[in-house]
Amino acid sequence: MKHLLLKIEPLIWLLFGQGILLGTILLTGWILVVNLGVPLGLISDDGLAFQRAHELGSSLVGRLVLAALCALPLWKGAHHMRHVSIDSGGAGRDAVVAPLLYGVAALGSLLAIAAVIRL
Amino acid sequence: MAETLVKKFVVTRFDPDKDEAPRTESYEVPCHPDWKVLDALNHIKDEIDGSLAHRWSCRMSVCGSCGMNVNGQPTLTCKKAVSDLPDTVEVTPLANFPVVRDLVVELDGFMEKLKSVKPWIIRAKEKAVEEGPMRQSQAELEEFKQFSMCINCMLCYAACPVVANEPEFLGPAAIALGHRYSVDSRDEGAAERNEIFRGEGTVFACSYANECSEVCPKHVDPAAAVNQAKFNAVIDWAAGLVLPRGGKE
Amino acid sequence: MRAAIAAVEADPDISVALVSKVYPMRSHTVSAEGGAAGVAREDDSLEMHGFDTVKGSDFLGDQDVIQYFVEHAPKELTRLEHWGCPWSRNEDGSVATRAFGGMSTKRTWYAADKVGFHMLHSLFQHSLRFDRIVRYDEQFVTKLIVDGGQVRGVTALDIREGVVRCILGRAVVLCTGGAGKIFPFTTNGNIKTGDGMALAYRSGVPLKDMEFVQYHPTGLPGTGILITEATRGEGGHVKNKDGERFLVTRDYGVGKKAELGPRDMISRAIVQEIEAGRGIDSQYGQYALLDLTHLGEEKIDSRLPMVRELCKIYAGVDPVYEPIPIRPVVHYMMGGVDVDIDGKANGVSGLFAAGETACVSLNGANRLGSNSLTECLVFGARSGLSAVNFAKGASAGDDAALAKVGEAEQGRIDALRGKQGGGETLAGIRGDMQKAMESGCGVYREEATMQQTVRDIAELEGRYANLSLEDSSKVFNTEIVAALELENMLDCARAVSNSAASRNESRGAHTRRDATARDDVNFLYHTLCHFDPAGPRLDKKDVTLGRWEPEERKY
Amino acid sequence: MADAHPHAMAPTRPGKTRTAPPQRPPQFPMGGRYLAYTAFGWTGLIYLLLGFLVIEAVWALGDGAAAWQEQLLRYEHPVYIAFHVLALASVVFVGVRFFRLFPKAQPPRIGPAKPPPQSLIHGTLYAVWVGATVVFGAILAGGLF
Ligand SMILES: Cc1cc2nc3c(=O)[nH]c(=O)nc-3n(C[C@H](O)[C@H](O)[C@H](O)COP(=O)(O)OP(=O)(O)OC[C@H]3O[C@@H](n4cnc5c(N)ncnc54)[C@H](O)[C@@H]3O)c2cc1C
Ligand code: SF4
Ligand code: F3S
Ligand code: FES
């Protein structure tokens, strides 16, 4: 397990890095509009009407963007939580924590892919 | 003679011959306004308590011996002026290191880590002296110059949260010094070191706290080095996937 | 360190113990700022470097040594380049050189103004690749084990554990640095206590030319931190309180070289200016000024960044805008363990020495700036090789008998630990020694004060016997190290003061008010100082001349 | 004061004298500059949740108009609002901190290619961030396409 983890560490780190980079860039707009602007009534909800949203989302670009928006933050989150765990004296339990967190992120990524395929 | 500042120095003492655990002792020290913390410690040793143990030599911030935690911050004691500090000054040994005695910490662990990153020029074929010096442009020099400024003072180790919790972690200075050679245009050992950097407890253990660079007295910016090394290790890894280096692995 | 690498490279079967009382990268070479000399430019030649060195030495350097030195200097510096030393570069990518005091052209290799630091770390990191260099860090050598006129190893106090170990070997190379700490005001770090000199001296090797102590003209008042000569090499001006460039306007023997004159002359000039009332007052005594403001921020930051940093931190002055306060400061010991061109010590076989602790007679009466770092490389390598050659032919000693020496040393040190004595303190004796040395062996010397210093130091040795110590711990007892260092320093101080008192002329760094001329008829010789329980015994040794005959030293 | 890992910086063969255990940096984890670092780490939790929330939304979008409408309604719940305010703050915090630190992590050269100067990377990053947010936001809000 440890060995495998070491082998894929560069990959995880790439995903994590993109999670911060792309994830942050995309999430800012998403939260502003979808999670705050529209629900608070600051922005009209026409843009998010099902028809339009589905059309945009199911285009190729749309699917890719949505997949990135779902999956990348998971890797950022998992990796950071692993660091938090180690920083709070958890080097010893890392052998359990790390696979668990990355497992969650991997599962989530699969779900994300499934979700965009279903569109 | 300018007026003196009397400051209280609370100093960690620990003598494994006698003490179970570290304790503190306070000294009132009449400080000259120009003094550095080190001058005050030397005053304590010379005039008040000869049994205090601390390391120092150059008193011009270049030998790297005198690193300690001063009021919680990793500091070169020969560089920090007493006049910049509050009336009570707390001097403790560097954090994250086992303490040998008083203010003296264990450095052998670092020496092993340093050696493990191969901090020397690796070349497929050594150049003969007769061929003269290698050429290197000022720009190529700039690429690693900063990272070669490390005085091994260990302040970065005392600040890094990962060092505190991950005993395998090579730590900022060792990685910076390995990386320094990898980006030296005269070196050909980057691949070898990338391999090392992908091992356990190396670059990926760093969580980019950036504390190392905040405390570094020589502006080495070890955080930059560690994270550049990450990049290089990843690129090298990806390249290895695309075009496997035959035979070598 | 250079010696150790040379040795392991020369012979794949040997191993080398690298013993140091600090971690090797803390050695004081780390402080050297300005550069290392070696011929590199087209318009330069080995002859010119040789002649500059001979002249700088005031004709007291051995010319065969100088010949060898200038030939090997560029090679050694190139080797260091191959090992990764980050030398500063010219436009075309070749190694850059700068001007230095007493050198007739730009031949000093540099890495900004942290040359010693980069050289030391390059060497140290390079040495890590050899498993056969076994490091003994923070082990303080207390004695050379000499048996039947041959050195068999050393006894070393493990500072960490408080025990004495015998480190046996067939040859020993001493590279323990200088002894600037016998003076109160010095550029030298705390570890430069002349240990190697004292070790060899007590084993029967004479110390050579100890009277020549170099004063560096530009140290920060108060701390003694060095402002490198490269400041002058890059075009800095030395001024008095009226802003006058007295090296140009008055005749101090430096001629057209002005600020680029050799160190002894400029130091004397500054002292004379101060004595003439043209110094500036401060709580640390009077000082002169070093003005870099005309160089501009850009040049200072690229060539002299450390100078700027040091001035800001330790003098509260930014050299870009203000002149730097400076005064002459003890810097370098020209003298040291008497060795020949192979680094072989005079009188004890198997013992070698190199670096500042040795005196191969390269520097004579005055070292030229930037020659000594190169000296460490050139003669470090040569003595390493000599040691290997010697060790191959040497017989092994009788281990059991030698272990006895270790036990005796352990006894001596245990007795010293936490010693209840006659109330003399380390700081007290050290302070008095430093004061005595400054008054008798300063930039200018006189018969009466020198004799006084000789007596003072002898008396201090008596007081040392009454030393009281407070730290009784075995673990990292720095007090005991300081006590042993003090003992060594007293030995060196005695050698310096006695040698100085015997030389009734002015030559190089040894300048007397009561004998202002150089006297080649009576004093063109090396002073040897032998250890004798009754007090130092002086002797003479011929200077090897050659191509260049002594002439008046005028620039 | 908590101890660091008992083996932090210990050599493989410890010296013969007894050492006192290493202490961790005295201000860690909540004091001084560490506070920002610790907070930075904990944003990981928020990103994890955000990731799953977006998945939920996309899933709903796949389920059809009713599910999507329901999803949008749910976002009006005060708990969601509160969480998303926090999330926005974290995202901005992560962006500011990370984009400040990111450029110096660029190796001085990748093969023959040299990266642009740091100030340029800095500027570009922040510009791209703001620009992308505006464009992406506009798309979502119906102002574009
Ligand atoms: C501030 C400054 C600037 C200088 N600038 C220049 C310059 O620009 N150019 C130039 O050419 N020269 C310069 N010099 C001179 C030059 O740096 C020194 O002459 C040279 O570094 C001496 O090197 P070394 O190897 O002989 O000694 P060091 O570097 O002092 O090494 C001595 C070693 O011996 C060890 N040691 C000593 N005693 C013991 C003991 N008892 N037991 C065990 N180990 C022991 C020490 O731990 C240390 O590792 C400068 C010197 C100073 C102080
Ligand atoms: S990187 Fe900086 S803080 Fe760390 S050891 Fe080197 S000089 Fe000290
Ligand atoms: S503080 Fe530590 S976590 Fe990384 S950036 Fe520096 S090594
Ligand atoms: S004493 Fe050398 S760095 Fe402080």
What interface predicted TM-score (ipTM) does this complex get?
0.91
The amino acid at residue B77 is T
Q: For residues D7 and C116, what is the distance between their CA atoms, to the nearest angstrom?
A: 34
pLDDT tens digit string along C46-82?
999 999 999 999 999 999 999 999 999 999 999 999 9
Q: Which residue of the set C126, C170, C216, C503 is catalytic?
A: C216
C188 to chain B: nearest residue by CA? B58
> In the B/D pair of chains, how many CB contacts fall below 8 A?
138
CATH of the domain at C303: 3.90.700.10
State in Å: Cα B88 to ligand 2 middle: 27
Tell me how far the alpha carbon of residue C52 is from its chain's centroid. 20
Confidence (pLDDT) at A2: 67
Residues making up chain D, counted from first to last: 145
Which pLDDT value is given to residue C258?
Answer: 84
Single out the residue in C314, C329, C344 at which a domain terminates. C329
Q: Which amino acid makes up residue C421?
A: G
Catalytic site includes residue C121: no
Interval C247-261: pLDDT, tens: 988 888 888 888 888
- Tell me how far apart the alpha carbons of residues C52 and C38 are, in angstroms, rounded to a whole number: 12
Residues with Cβ within 8 Å of B188's Cβ and at least 6 positions away in sequence, in order, are: B122, B123, B124
Say whether C56 sits in a helix, a strand or coil: helix
* pLDDT grade for A70, boundaries at 50, 70 and 90: very high
In a domain, D38, yes or no: yes
| D29 band by pLDDT with thresholds 50, 70 and 90 | confident
pLDDT digits (tens, 9 = 90+) for C472-517: 999 999 999 999 999 999 999 999 999 999 999 999 999 999 999 9
Q: Do C475 and D15 touch (CB under 8 A)?
A: no
Q: Are D66 and D101 within one domain? A: yes
- Of C114, C193, C255, residue with least CA distance to C478: C193
* pLDDT above 60 (res A83): yes
> Domain check: are D66 and D127 in the same one?
no
Pocket of ligand 2 (CB under 6 A): B 150-156, 172-173, 176, 216, 218, 220, 222
User: What pLDDT sits at residue D110?
Assistant: 65
**In this predicted structure, what is the pLDDT of residue B1?**
46
CB C219 within 8 Å of CB C287: no
What is the average per-residue pLDDT within D104-110? Answer: 78
Question: Which candidate from A34, A80, A104 shows the least CB-CB separation from D140?
Answer: A34
Domain boundary among C276, C306, C329: C329
Q: Does residue C301 lie within any of the structural domains? A: yes
Residue C166 falls inside a structural domain: no
User: What's the pLDDT score for residue D1?
Assistant: 45
Domains and CATH numbers, chain A: 2-117 (1.20.1300.10)
Q: C42: which residues sit within 8 A by CB, 6+ positions away?
A: none
CA-derived radius of gyration, chain B: 21
Dist CA C10 CA C407 (whole Å): 34
Give me the count of residues in chain B: 249
Alpha carbons C528 and C339: distance in angstroms, whole number:
11
**Domain co-membership, D83 together with D60:** yes
Q: Give the residue, C399 or C70, on which the prediction is more confident.
A: C70
Residue C325 has pLDDT above 70, yes or no: yes
Confidence of residue C40 (pLDDT cuts 50, 70, 90): confident
Query: How many domains is chain D partitioned into structurally?
Result: 2
Q: Is residue C176 part of a domain?
A: no
Asked if A8 has any chain B CB less than 8 Å from its own CB, the reply is no
φ/ψ of C477, rounded to 5, equals -85, 95
Residue C242 lies in a domain: yes
Q: Provide the residue range defining the domain that includes C258.
A: 217-329
Element (H, E) at C164: strand C163-168
Q: How many helices (H) and strands (E) does chain D have?
A: 4, 0
Which chain D residues touch A88 with a CB distance below 8 Å? 29
Residue D9 lies in a domain: no
β C358-359/C336-338 pair status: parallel
**Looking at the structure, do residues D30 and D98 belong to the same domain, yes or no?**
yes
In the predicted model, what is the mean pLDDT of residues B32-53?
94
Q: Among C285, C311, C292, which residue's Cα sits nearest to residue C227?
A: C311
B46/C476 touch (CB, cutoff 8 Å), yes or no? no
Confidence of residue C423 (pLDDT cuts 50, 70, 90): confident
pLDDT surpassing 60 at residue C16: yes
B71 pLDDT more than 90: yes
Does pTM surpass 0.80?
yes
Q: Find the mean pLDDT for residues C511-531.
A: 93
Q: Which phi and psi angles does B54 have, rounded to 5°?
A: -150, 155
Q: Are C424 and C536 in a shared domain?
A: yes
Choosing from C329, C361, C386, the residue where a domain stops is C329
Same domain, D116 and D82: no
Same domain, D56 and D125: no
Nearest to B58 by CA among C317, C335, C114: C114
Q: Are strands C351-353 and C336-338 parallel, antiparallel or unpaired?
A: unpaired
pLDDT in the model for residue C382:
93
User: Domains of chain B by range and CATH?
Assistant: 5-105 (3.10.20.30), 108-242 (1.10.1060.10)
Judged by CB atoms closer than 8 Å, whether chains meet at B199 and A6 is answered as: yes
Residue C114 falls within a domain, yes or no? no
Residue D65, domain extent: 26-105
At C157, which amino acid appears? Answer: L
For residues B115 and C404, what is the distance between their CA atoms, to the nearest angstrom?
Answer: 36
- pLDDT above 70 covers what percent of chain C? 99
Q: Which of D48, D97, D134 to mutate to test the interface with A (most CBs of A within 10 A)?
A: D48
Tell me: do D129 and D87 sit in the same domain. Answer: no
Asked whether residue D1 is domain-assigned, the answer is no
Q: When comparing pLDDT for B25 and C12, which is higher? A: B25
Q: Does A12 touch chain D (CB under 8 A)?
A: no
Domain assignment of residue C6, yes or no: no
Instruction: Using CA coordinates, name the residue in chain D closest to A107.
Output: D52
pLDDT at D2: 63
Find the CB nearest B164 among D25, D33, D109. D25
Q: Do C83 and B120 touch (CB under 8 A)?
A: yes
- For the residues C147-173, what does the mean pLDDT come to? 92
CB spacing of D72 vs A80 below 8 angstroms: no
pLDDT at A1: 60
Q: Which two tokens stand for residue D81?
A: 């609002």
State which ligand 3 atom lies nearest to the alpha carbon of B175: 7
Question: What span, in angstroms and rounded, lies between the C-alpha atoms of B196 and B187?
Answer: 16
**Residue C529 within a domain:** yes
Residues 6+ apart with CB under 8 A from B177: B114, B117, B119, B147, B148, B150, C125
Domain containing C450 — which CATH number? Answer: 1.20.58.100
pLDDT of residue D111: 62
Task: Please check whether residue D6 lies inside any domain of the structure.
Answer: no
Number of domains in chain C: 2
The chain-wide mean pLDDT, for chain B, equals: 91
Rounded to the nearest angstrom, the gap between the alpha carbon of residue B143 and the centroid of all alpha carbons in its chain is 20
Ligand 2, atom 7, residue with closest C-alpha: B150
| Residue B127 pLDDT level (bands cut at 50, 70, 90) | confident
Indicate if D64 and D97 belong to the same structural domain. yes
CA separation for the pair C64, C48 (Å, rounded): 15
CB of B201 within 8 Å of a chain A CB? The answer is no
Position C255 in a domain: yes
Question: Closest ligand 2 atom, CA of B173?
Answer: 1
For the segment C185-226, what is each residue's pLDDT rounded down to a tens digit? 999 999 999 999 999 999 999 999 999 999 999 999 988 899
Residues 6+ apart with CB under 8 A from C218: C226, C227, C228, C229, C231, C232, C238, C290, C324, C326, C328, C329
Question: D44–A79: do the CB atoms touch at under 8 Å?
Answer: yes
Give A21 to chain B, closest Cα distance, Å: 14
pLDDT digits (tens, 9 = 90+) for B135-190: 898 888 988 999 999 999 999 999 999 999 998 899 999 999 999 999 999 999 99
Q: Is position D17 within any domain?
A: no
